[in-house]
Amino acid sequence: MTLCFATNNQHKIKEVQALLGNDFALVGLADIGCNEELAEEQTTLEGNSLQKAQYVFERYTVSCFADDTGLEVEALNGAPGVYSARYAGEQRNAVDNMKRLLENLEGIKNRKARFRTVITLITPSGQKQFEGILNGIIIDQQRGAEGFGYDPIFLPDGNTKTLAEMSLDEKNTLSHRARAIEKLVTHLKHRNLSNA
């Protein structure tokens, strides 16, 4: 059974393929001839994830899944949330985004935050969503050079390293995306795709 992951990130595709095993052949957007950037015009992670998966399923008639991720800060009423990538503007610059977030948290004691990933799977017989959450706090100074986005200022609960100080393997054992993908993989392995 062929399944499309709506991404061009080959590392992500290999990671998920390893989790799925041989029952599914995982392909990316380029493999199905999709070279356009997928739109993210919705106001929720669920909406963006669904929009991307629907586009691929309808345009290329292939079973697929898409993800969307946001950082939700408690003291900022869940912001930046769905706008995490462009929090400081359409240039989507991680340094600018972190700077704006730290400015908005200046003087605020409550630093609780969570990363949340939503994955939407669409097959000929329906759709299903999976969520992964990683709780932590926002620290004042950037630490670490790995990862991307807000990783240098996000300290997961129970850890002494930020996400940007962890190796990819360490991050993948606890990340929000890994948790959502784990649920997706469990679902796919325990149910025939035609009944998904």
Tell me: pLDDT of 161 over 50.
yes
Which residues on adjacent β-strands are paired with residue 114?
A: 72, 135
Domain ranges of the chain: 2-195
Catalytic residue among 31, 68, 96, 151: 68
The verdict on whether 169 is a catalytic residue reads no
Pairing of strands 126-138, 80-81: unpaired
The pLDDT confidence band at residue 8, using thresholds 50, 70 and 90, is confident
Indicate the SS3 state at residue 26: strand
Summarised one tens digit per residue, pLDDT across range 31-57 is: 999 998 898 899 999 999 999 999 999
Tokens of 46: 């669920």
Summarised one tens digit per residue, pLDDT across range 72-113 is: 999 999 999 999 999 999 888 999 999 999 999 999 999 999
pTM (predicted TM-score): 0.89
Instruction: Choose the most confident range, by mean pLDDT, from 8-12, 25-29, 111-115.
Output: 111-115
Q: Which fold has domain 2-195?
A: Maf protein (3.90.950)
Pairing of strands 2-5, 64-73: parallel
